[in-house]
A and B are shown apart, each in its own frame.
Chain A
């Protein structure tokens, strides 16, 4: 079975084909949900963000510029929605990575689930702007060009943020005895 490309599905959506929109949901719900989950570390909020993202896509399909990649557009909406949710959290609601207490001591190399958990804790300790570039690069495996398009930033700025984020993650892991 040949999959229709995003552009064709968007055109069908614009013509009122609900089935085409469902195909877009099937295609992107996992990525959108995961991006939100990694930024928010809250499954309920990630579901809400995914739902809001697709609703906004649906409502604004007429505004979508086909000269941009569709996935860049939808990821941009998802990232912005996630950042909005983070902005609404009261300071004490920020998930600050207390679970890092369970990380092994500095004399042990961490592995598997512990490593994943430690890195997720560390990710929540860096600021959302830096966390966003990590999510786009390492979890969504996007190119710098795509990241720049999604974040509306020059590639050079994206790289600079990512480099800073990686080093902060490294420092955070060391500080919390997780590396």
Chain B
């Protein structure tokens, strides 16, 4: 086994960082020690193979997918992006997800039943558009994520309205019939997911489908929920 000084010289040689004195020192080591010579050859071969690995072209739709998934407003910016490009852009599996994050003016009317709070409990937090209907709502009351998630419908289609609070960013995996996507960084008072947001569900249909949600914090599952349109919607 070569000593650490010789090893460092070999690596520095591979990186092209040897000065004249170090080069002479390495040459002496190589002459004196066959094991060092063999190690040097192995490492040079490994690095040459690594360096020869060719870059791969990304999927052709990646760029459109990225651009299509951009939210309409950027945190810290008053600038709005055109809505039309959001709907028309080609998408990958997740493209429809964050792409659907609507602006803070997104409006949700909560229609809650059973043990869920009455609509009057939340009316003060919601703006008053008659165009949006809440089809189902799940309250998150236990665990590290609090808040509510609603399945909503407006003129543009179906969507999820999320109001989450958590001590760390929450990622939400959304799975329905024929689509899955992830929403990152929700639940923070400051940050990309701060406050309430609505995400479009372009693949959703009113034929008994449900939407399964998995909540993750720091990569660990912290909760699950299922949304399904209630009878009468």
**A residues lining the B interface (CB < 8 Å):** 14-16, 18, 21-22, 25-26, 29-31, 33-34, 37-38, 43-44, 46-48, 50-52, 54-56, 58-63, 84, 87-88, 115-116, 118-120, 134, 138-139, 159, 162-163, 166-167, 169-170, 173-174, 179
Q: What are 6 A-B pairs at a CB distance below 8 A?
A: A22-B63, A48-B182, A58-B71, A119-B53, A166-B43, A169-B46
The interface stretch among B72-80, B103-111, B158-166 is: B72-80
Say yes or no: is B121 at the interface (Cβ < 8 Å to chain A): no
Chain A at the B interface: SS class: helix
Known contacts A50-B66, A62-B75: does B49 contact A170 (CB below 8 Å)?
no
Contact A134 B58 (CB under 8 A): no
A138 to B94 Cα, complex, angstroms: 30
Q: Which residue of B lies closest to A140 (CB)?
A: B55
Chain B at the A interface: SS class: mixed
Interface centre among A18, A37, A56, A120 (most CB of B within 10 A): A18
Return the CB mask of B33-63 against A: 1 if under 8 Å, else 0.
0000001001101110111110111110011
Contact B62 A21 (CB under 8 A): no
CB-contact partner of A116 in B39, B45, B52, B184, under 8 A: B52
Q: Which residue of A lies closest to B85 (CB)?
A: A18
Say yes or no: is B65 at the interface (Cβ < 8 Å to chain A): yes
Say yes or no: is B119 at the interface (Cβ < 8 Å to chain A): no
Contact B56 A34 (CB under 8 A): yes
| Further 14 A-B residue pairs, CB within 8 A, beyond A25-B67, A163-B11, A179-B45 | A18-B81, A21-B70, A29-B63, A30-B57, A34-B55, A51-B65, A51-B66, A55-B69, A56-B185, A61-B76, A84-B219, A134-B50, A166-B47, A170-B43
Known contacts A50-B66, A166-B47, A173-B46: does B59 contact A59 (CB below 8 Å)?
no
**B residues lining the A interface (CB < 8 Å):** 7-8, 11, 14, 39, 42-43, 45-47, 49-53, 55-59, 62-63, 65-67, 69-71, 74-77, 79, 81-82, 85, 92-95, 98, 182, 184-185, 191-192, 216, 219
Interface centre among B42, B59, B66, B182 (most CB of A within 10 A): B66
Contact A55 B49 (CB under 8 A): no
Contact A163 B8 (CB under 8 A): yes
Contact A55 B70 (CB under 8 A): yes
CB-contact partner of B184 in A43, A56, A120, A167, under 8 A: A56
Interface centre among A26, A33, A47, A63 (most CB of B within 10 A): A47
Contact A56 B74 (CB under 8 A): no
B63 to A: closest C-beta gap in Å: 5
Contact A33 B58 (CB under 8 A): yes
Contact A14 B77 (CB under 8 A): yes
Contact A119 B58 (CB under 8 A): no
Contact B79 A16 (CB under 8 A): yes
Q: Which residue of A lies closest to B68 (CB)?
A: A51
Cβ contacts under 8 Å, A22 to chain B: 63, 67
Cβ contacts under 8 Å, B11 to chain A: 159, 162-163, 166
CB-contact partner of A50 in B58, B75, B77, under 8 A: B58
Cβ contacts under 8 Å, A51 to chain B: 62, 65-66, 69, 92, 94-95
Cβ contacts under 8 Å, B182 to chain A: 48, 52
Contact B51 A87 (CB under 8 A): no
Known contacts A26-B63, A47-B59, A47-B65: does B77 contact A115 (CB below 8 Å)?
no
